[in-house]
Amino acid sequence: MSGEHVGRLKRRARSFLIEAERVDDPDLSLFFAEQAIQLYVKAVYFELFGGRIRGHRIREMLGLLAKSLEAEGFKVHASRVLEFIAQHRDNLIILEEAYSMSRYGDIEYSKDDASLAILIAKSLVNLLEEVCRDVKLG
């Protein structure tokens, strides 16, 4: 499994997260936080399972990650991912909507929305890093 690909995706994800914190426009901040999550989940999935996830729905990608972890016997880690989805469901939906609405829609996000999105993105990255440290396959 290509460490370069994983490293590139994680670097890009971290860069999006940094920009989400720097930018003054809450719409862009949410978009960048969503992109950070998307890339990080894809990086972790590739790192652990060698497969590429297509699409951009965060909850769907996390669900696939949890299902794959469970199939490999990592039930505790799968449960933690599923708990994250359940705990942050409404905010993950907002982030998924921000993928297109922040660019094309009539919605304007607030600074509070942006702060929460960044907090959730950081929390998810931390969780996924723990999963990567603990899960060893192949």
Q: φ, ψ for residue 51 (rounded to 5)?
A: -110, 155
C-alpha closest to that of 26 among 136, 119, 116, 114: 114
pTM (two decimals):
0.93
CATH 1.10.1740.10 at 3-134, yes or no: no
Tens-place pLDDT, residues 44-95: 999 999 999 988 899 999 999 999 999 999 999 999 999 999 999 999 999 9
Q: Could you tell me the residue ranges of all domains in the chain?
A: 3-134
| CA distance linking residue 45 with residue 19, whole number of Å | 23
CA distance 137 to 46: 12
